[in-house]
Structure 1
Amino acid sequence: MLFRWFFRIFLAMFAVGMVSAMLLVFAALVILPTLPSLDTLTDYRPKIPLRIYSAEGLLIGEFGEERRDFVKFAEVPVSLRQAILAAEDDRFYQHHGVDYIGVLRAIYSNFTAGGALQGASTITMQVARNFFLTKEKTLTRKFSEALLAFKIEHSLGKDRILELYINQIYLGQRSYGFSAAARTYFNKPLGDITLAEAAMLAGLPKAPSRFNPVVNLERAKTRQQYVLRRMHELEYISEKELARARKQPIAIHRPVRVFAMPASYVAEMARQVVYQRYREEAYTRGFKVYTTLRKTDQDAAYRALRKGVMTYDERYGYRGAEAFLGLPKQRADLKNTLQGIRDSDDILAALVLSVSADSIEVYLKSGETIRISGNGLKPGRKFMTNDAKLGDQRIRPGALIRITRDGKNSWQITQLPQIEAALVAIDPADGAIRALVGGFDFNLNKFNHVTQAWRQPGSSFKPFIYSASLEKGFTPATIINDAPLFLGPEQTGSKPWEPKNFDGKFSGPIRMRTALTHSKNLASIRILQAIGPVYAQDYIQRFGFDGKQHAPVLPMVLGAGSVTPMQMAAGYAVFANGGYRIHPYFIQRVEDDTGKVLERVRFATAAKNAKQVIDPRNAFLMTSMMQDVIQRGTATRAKALGRNDIAGKTGTTSNYIDAWFCGYQKNLVAVTWMGFDEPKSMGRNETGGRTALPIWIDYMASALKSAPVANPSPPRGIVVAKINPETGLRDQYGTLNEYFFQEQLPPETDYLYRDFGITDQLENQLF
């Protein structure tokens, strides 16, 4: 009887088993045809972001939703491989996609724990899920995952499967793959991580948000200790290695992406170029763009521009608190109050907590509380008041202000400037952009003033007209009359005009060299009158200017047209390189994720394959005259550089709306500009020499620090002659030496008629 009872039970169980097996087979037959192709795995192309690099190969920008670096299996540290196996699938190399022993272990663990705590997913099953399936917790999804795991194991080797896992798995902080996670959490290449760091990374796949060391370091360490213990149990590491790794301190890198240099404007320029060619693939195919920027130049340009802008801003005083945000009821909510408000490099957003007669206490986004007193309060003292007329400009609890450290490393009140500036530096030999700063802060104003700002160049445009006059027979010694002038509408193209010099004075007959050195407006207008505005409009196009932006009228010589700083840099490069037209460029090459070069820039080089647009003698004479601008003219501040091989020209527009300095040395051209986005006066006497030139000097002091002084010889066809500084004529007793085109030597002074006043020869040169 008992035997019969057991036999019936056996038959029932056998029947259930057979039915279950048949159901599983049936389900497999139904699901197998619907499983996706493994092409995604066999031809694995991870979504690698677009990365922008400097000329030295330093990262300056990254674009893409996923932070990812693809690494080959052989490049993954052994300690990390072992840590991953210990944490996720220690029988990876023994099973065939589904670990039955692991499943039984998980079932037992879940039963004894009274709930579903372990999932028994192998690394192969996780690869199947990460590439092809959703994360929904259903029996159908789990069964499909197992079938896919078998399929993957049948098609790929174990090392390849583990490689896919290592590169694809999400590990928090927008990081996909262990290489990206190593950079995100430790700011290290994957090959440089320690055993302790490898164990912490290996603990992330289980729950990236829960074990994120940025969010909760203690919880991450607990998981790390578990991984290390498992590595020891599996005999991957020794007792000593375990003890050492447990004690090893770990420095967590905060996930604020800091690039090798502040070059956001160039990174954005590169992104736009690549996107125009590849559209959305630009952000997923791992393109690498190598630019022409040099770190030393870019760092110097960035520092110089910000210093110049802040110096200007400080001249006009503190404007009060930036806004009133109010204080939250709970101190824990202070961070939320500042959420969305950006710092600007070393200019930090600060929420005022309290104000007393001699100090204020502020809260920073970092969670730090700062007390400011003494000289640090000086800029904002008049706003530390209860005067309701000041409105939200008052510095009171709840006010948003900015603070920074002064030269003595003490905190002080400051503010974000309202004015903007730009700096671009290029190699005049081929147009390679060495530094570009398109504004004070890219995160606050993405408008690129180097390439997008069309502004009046003021007197910095005069050299191009003077160059044109040299082609028409003028010389640096030609006498020009710097005298009052009245022009009617037919001459200006608009309203009657009575131009004046900056100082309001007139110098009478002066040499052309002197006129440029001291930026004499009246003399310059007479030069343009003599050569003709239409000729000048055509001539300036040799330098890359758009003739449509420069009407053929007399105000053209004073910079009444429109230019960009980039155009001015290209124009001045013609003078610097001996007369050749070059085209500024900032991308050297574009590579794919394997290092294959997809595009390489083709550039023209001066004296090789670039077009010669002006006589090299013309370029030499213009450089000589613009060297005088620095040595004894409107840019004498630049003498502080202690060099005699630099040349340039200041520029200031009417009512001090735009300020420029365009200057160069034989191997480097730099242009600086300052002004408001909505054009308005910067203030009386805010000239190019006062606002733009200091930025140029600070940049060049660094950029030319190791460059030897260049003293090029005059090109063939240039002769030197003594002249009379009053008449501009050759004079054997003259006190000045001047350069001339060989065929344009002025006549010699006729001493037979010197007592009869002005000579006929001099009279013919006056205008």
Structure 2
Amino acid sequence: MKRILRSVVLVVLVVSAIIFAIPKPQLLNSETTSRAFLDRQGRLLRLTLAGDDRYRLQAPLSEVAPELREATLLYEDQDYYRHFGVDFQALLRAFWSSYVTRERPVGASTITMQVARLRWRLQTRSLSGKLVQILRALQLSRHYSKDQIFEAYLNLAPYGRNIEGIEAASRIYFDKPARDLSLPEALSLCVIPQNPVKRNPTTTQGFAALKVARDLLFQRWKARHPEAVRMQSFFDLPLQVRPPEKLPFRAPHLIAELDQQLSTTQQGRIETTIDRDLQRLVEQRVANYVDRRKKFGITNASVAILDYRTMEVVALVGSADFWNTSIDGQVNGCNALRSPGSTLKPFVYALAMDQGLIHPMTMLKDSPHRYGGFAPENYDQAFLGPMLARDALIASRNVPAAALQSQLAKPGLYELLQAAGVAKLQDESYYGLALGLGGVELTMLDLLKLYAMLANGGQMQPLRFLTDAPAAAEVPASLSPEACFLVLDILRDNPSGVRTLLPGQNRSGLQVAWKTGTSHAFRDAWAVGISGPYVVAVWIGNFDGTGNRAFTGRKAAGPLLFEIFTSLSHGQPWQAIGRLKPGLLNLEKVAMCADTGDLPGRYCPRTSESWFIPGVSPIKVSTIHRAVSVDKQSGLRTCRPIPGRTELRVFEFWPSDLRSIFRQAGLSLKNPPVFDEDCDLDTQSRSGTPPLIQSPTAHIEYRLRSETLDREQIPFSAVADGDVRQLYWFVDDRFVGTSKAGETFFWSPVSGSFTVRVVDDHGRADHRSVRVGMVPDREN
């Protein structure tokens, strides 16, 4: 007897030594896990497969529903927290029943032993395999707490099909995290691991077997929790289970890119900024719109929605149909480099406002002009003459925009695009003045960032696609909040020209500040708008660059933009100015002369209120409308009023450059009357404004070539007052010729320094210095 006791003690000591000597193993194996891409509210957008083609997610014990934890212990191992990983009494009972009496096979694996089997993939049907399982269970119990081992079990247990772990099972079958499982759902899942093939909940037979096991477990549960009897009706209802084939596949373009970009260490739950409801809505709107417009050749579209307050992209549709190969549906149009058309013009105007070149009612010129070898043209191949800046932006005229861009100082539009992170920019000289007219390539996401800057008062911030993305560092504002407000105030007056209400919706007063763009050869149609908390960008086109005359921003992209905003606003009267409050900005609203865009003079016939930036905007009193004394009989202008013979009449004195533009645009103006011949020249010269020389340009030396000296000419031009008919040109007090107001005189130069002077037919004058040099003869 003593010998047997010594043997038992020796075995116990040896086993104990082995257990304590075995090093600490990893509790979970090193296999990769799935990525559960979640929306901003934690709802599943897409669940990827792990490296071994299994759905596998990990969840801490605290993130598992208490009912499931308790039910699992009740079903699998009631004494889990009382034994040391192995229940030896249960093992003896199982051995006796299975191998001695052979009544029936009985299992006695504790949760710890099951973790050992799953962790090391053990074959435990043989005695040797069972022994290894027991030793591994003791090893785990030596190094890990009960909660840690229980957590590992819930993350390793098979739940049918290729699903591993409670979190993956909960997400797939019930579309919710494990912490939110109801009691019927929890009890359904915890009986699967004992027989995951037979109790597969996605088949009719498997669900029937699962229900039998679950109902038996529920009886045991009620014995422990009598109050649960009121849940019986829920257990009698059919359980709605989703198979893996029905997993959501939302925002596929964004998820595919994030899946490629994330590091291998970023697994498990990936919380994106996407809103699943908005994503589904936009996907439906795009699909329906393309289907309705396919008769016009519209087969594809991309849309992105940004919450500019947080810079989170809440919806992104890269194409009209991800699975349609005929339109290259898996290409992400939101990341494609495309010509933006006229969508960059608002930033040219904003920069011009910040640099004191214009205010919303500054008069601009829509007339032919050449800048070296570049002569911008308008979409309609026509010119509208003088236009207010706000009207030129709304009408998207190319010529005024190019003229403004040519006057911008640094930093200009190019630097603004650099600050926005536009990729693959060429040198600025490569684009020239075409930069603001669509001559550069950028992405829809670039446009979102730029327009969000307007809504955020000039603050450029990066886009966010993940909720845990680090906060952006403070950077200097690219535009002033005042310029941003003025541009948005103009763009919200841009008429939609589309039916903005969907069937069954009430009129809501939705306000959108928006801009369109159409690229060369009708390859891209754009519409970008701001309303409420969102910036929405819409692109219509073909990924292969095929053009279509139907691809215009206003007619192709605009309607979809307004359909989306109408759906987003849910009938609320959203505003389009973002966070900008004019009362808190350096802005003033004053009455302006509606015809000229300047402060109204005494005789301005009508006014219109407009904003300007005090101390920055170029403000002057309009002198276009003037009252002059006119002879009642002859209709000639007199030098002074004569009671009974003359009367005051108001005429428009447009300067010669604008009169010329009116003529080019096909608009006729009534000329002010000429002076009566009795008026002396001194009296005439004191009226109106003197001419202003535009050419020759000051501070530039003109260079002549001797071999072409007889053909060299320098243009002389000046802006003259509205009553001027003729200009007289002098070089160093020597009369050299005449020109009509608004026309150019060409002078044949010689080398030297000269003073050029112009005198109008009322004796008013201007002068400018000019230097002419000779280019040295080229050596033979």
SS in 1 for 2:117: helix
Following superposition, the deviation at residue 61 of structure 1 comes to 4.2
SS in structure 1 of the partner of residue 540 of structure 2: strand
Verify: 1:758 aligned to 2:749, yes or no.
Answer: no
Counterpart residue number, 1:687: 552
The DSSP-based 3-state class of the residue aligned with 1:749 is: coil
1:102-121 aligned within 5 A: 102-107=94-99, 111=102, 121=109
CA distance in 1, matches of 2:176, 2:432: 60
Task: Tell me what 2:586 maps to.
Answer: 716
- Distance 1:210-1:314 versus aligned 2 partners, 3 A rule: farther
Aligned: 1:124 with 2:116: no
Q: Deviations over 1:111-139 (max 9, x none)?
A: 568xxx66654443322211124337555
Name 2:432's counterpart in structure 1.
Answer: 553
Structure 1 position 311 matched with structure 2 position 323: no
Q: TM-score, normalising length from structure 1?
A: 0.67
What's the TM-score, normalizing by structure 2?
0.66
Counterpart-to-counterpart distance in 2, 1:230 and 1:300? 42
The one-letter code of the counterpart of 1:674 is: I
Tell me the equivalent position of 1:101. 93
Q: Secondary structure at the match of 1:703?
A: helix
Is residue 61–residue 147 contact of structure 2 (8 Å, CA) maintained in 1?
no
Which residue is 2:343 aligned to?
460
In structure 1, distance between residues paired with 2:150 and 2:405: 74
What is the alpha-carbon distance in structure 2 between the residues aligned to residue 512 and residue 231 of structure 1? Answer: 75
Maintained 8 Å contact 1:627/1:648: yes
Q: How many residues end up aligned between the 2 structures?
A: 608
Q: CA RMSD in A?
A: 4.6
Shift of 1:103: 1.8
In 1, Cα distance between the equivalents of 2:181 and 2:501? 50
Partner of 2:158: 170
2: CA distance, partners of 1:523 / 1:73 = 64
Aligned to 2:483: 618
Structure 1 residue 613, shift from structure 2 partner: 2.1
Residue 585 of structure 1 aligns to a residue in which SS?
coil
Provide closer, same or farther for how the CA distance between residues 210 and 581 of structure 1 changes in structure 2, counting only shifts above 3 A.
same
What residue in structure 2 maps to residue 736 of structure 1?
608
Residue aligned with 2:620, SS: coil
2:45 aligned partner: 60
Query: Equivalents in 1 of 2:497, 2:476: separation in Å?
Result: 31
3-state DSSP class of the match of 1:648? strand
Q: Which residue of 506, 511, 520 maps to 1:654?
A: 520
Instruction: Give secondary structure in 1 for the equivalent of 2:250.
Output: coil
Q: Measured at CA, do residues 699 and 752 of structure 1 come closer, stay the same or move farther in structure 2, by a change above 3 Å?
A: same
The structural deviation recorded for 1:77 is 4.7
Structure 2 residue aligned with 1:70, among 56, 59, 66? 59
CA change 1:82–1:661 in 2 (3 A) is closer
How far residue 230 of structure 1 moved from its aligned partner, in angstroms, is 7.5
Question: Residues 311-350 of structure 1 correspond to what in structure 2 (within 5 A)?
Answer: 311-316=292-297
Alpha-carbon distance between aligned partners in 1 of 2:627 and 2:225, rounded to the nearest angstrom: 107
| Distance 1:196-1:531 versus aligned 2 partners, 3 A rule | closer
8 Å CA contact 2:448, 2:535 repeated in 1: yes
2: CA distance between counterparts of 1:56 and 1:194?
19
Q: 1:453 Cα shift?
A: 0.9
Is residue 520 of structure 1 aligned with residue 397 of structure 2? yes
Change in Cα spacing, 1:61 to 1:30, as seen in structure 2 (3 Å) is same
Answer whether contact 2:498 2:558 (CA < 8 A) is retained.
Answer: no
Residues 530 and 241 of structure 1, relative CA distance in 2, 3 Å threshold: closer
Q: 1:623 to 1:464 in 2, by over 3 A?
A: same
Give the distance between the partners of 1:248 and 1:666, measured in 2 at CA: 47
Report the alpha carbon displacement of residue 62 of structure 1 after superposing the two structures with TM. 4.0
Question: How far apart, in 2, do the equivalents of 1:261 and 1:219 lie?
Answer: 26
For 1:162-561, what aligned pairs fall within 5 Å after superposition? 162-187=150-175, 190=178, 197-198=185-186, 200-215=188-203, 217-222=204-209, 224-226=211-213, 228-229=215-216, 236=223, 248-256=236-244, 262-268=250-256, 270-272=258-260, 275=262, 279-283=263-267, 286=268, 288-294=269-275, 297-316=278-297, 418-427=299-308, 429=309, 431-442=311-322, 445-450=329-334, 452-470=335-353, 471=355, 473-484=357-368, 491-492=373-374, 500-529=377-406, 531=408, 536-538=413-415, 541=418, 545=422, 548=426, 551-561=430-440
2:234 & 2:275 partners in 1: Cα distance?
42
Deviation, 1:99, is 0.8
Corresponding residue for residue 587 of structure 1: 466
How does 1:601-640 map onto structure 2 within 5 Å?
601-603=470-472, 609-630=474-495
1:688-723 residue CA offsets vs partner (Å, 9 max, x unmatched): 112222222122223344465477436325442321
Residue 572, structure 1, aligned to residue 451, structure 2 = yes
When structure 1 is superposed on structure 2, of 302-311 and 122-131 the one drifting more is: 302-311
Q: Is the 8 A contact 2:350 2:487 kept in 1?
A: yes
Q: Give the counterpart letter for 1:465 in structure 2.
A: V
TM-superposed CA distance for 1:263, in Å, is 3.5
Q: 2 CA distance for matches of 1:311 and 1:460?
A: 25
What's the secondary structure of 1:629's corresponding residue? coil
1:281-312 deviations in Å (ceiling 9; x for gaps): 222xx4x4444444564444434333333333
The letter for the 1-side match of 2:114 is Q
Which of 470-479 and 257-266 deviates more? 257-266
What does the per-residue CA deviation read over 1:433-474, in whole Å, with 9 as the maximum and x for residues that have no partner?
343333334566443332x21100111122222333332623
- Which of residues 123, 126, 131 in structure 2 aligns to 1:143? 131
Range with greater deviation from structure 2 (69-78 or 694-703) = 69-78
Is the contact made by 1:308 and 1:692 (CA closer than 8 Å) also made in structure 2? no
Q: Distance between the aligned counterparts of 1:617 and 1:238, measured in 2?
A: 66
What residue identity is the alignment partner of 2:366? D
Give the C-alpha shift of residue 661 in structure 1: 0.8
Shift of 1:50: 4.1
Query: Measured at CA, do residues 510 and 699 of structure 1 come closer, stay the same or move farther in structure 2, by a change above 3 Å?
Result: same
CA distance in 2 between partners of 1:587 and 1:746 (Å): 50
- State the AA in 2 paired with 1:96: D
Question: Structure 1 35/638 Cα, relative in aligned 2: closer, same or farther at 3 Å?
Answer: farther
Q: Residues 589 and 609 of structure 2 are in contact (CA less than 8 Å); yes or no, is this contact kept in structure 1?
A: no
SS in 2 for 1:491: coil
Distance 1:736 1:165, change over 3 A: closer
Aligned CA distance change for structure 1 residues 46 and 302 (closer, same or farther; 3 Å): same
**CA positional deviation for 1:611:** 1.9
Matched residue, 1:40: 26
**Hey, what's the Cα distance between the residues in 2 that align with 1:108 and 1:186?**
44
More helix by share: 1
Q: Among residues 706, 725, 729, which one is paired with 2:595 in the alignment?
A: 725
Q: Secondary structure at the match of 1:460?
A: coil
- For the 8 Å contact 2:306–2:313, the answer to whether it is kept is yes
Q: Is the 8 A contact 2:508 2:573 kept in 1?
A: no
Deviates more, 1:141-150 or 1:747-756: 747-756
Distance 2:61 2:366 in 1: 73
In the alignment, the residues of structure 2 paired with residue 430 and residue 225 of structure 1 have an alpha-carbon distance, to the nearest angstrom, of 50
Deviations for 1:495-524, whole angstroms, at most 9, x for unmatched residues?
xx6x54333443233223222221223443
In 2, distance between residues paired with 1:531 and 1:195? 68
In the aligned structure 2, how far is the partner of 1:534 from the partner of 1:157? 63
Shift of 1:144: 1.2
Counterpart of 2:96, as a letter, is L
Instruction: Supply the distance in 2 between the matched residues of 1:243 and 1:508 (Cα, whole angstroms).
Output: 79
Shift of 1:73: 7.8
Paired residue type of 1:305 = V
Question: Which residue matches 2:687?
Answer: none
Partners of 1:740 and 1:192 lie apart in 2 by 56
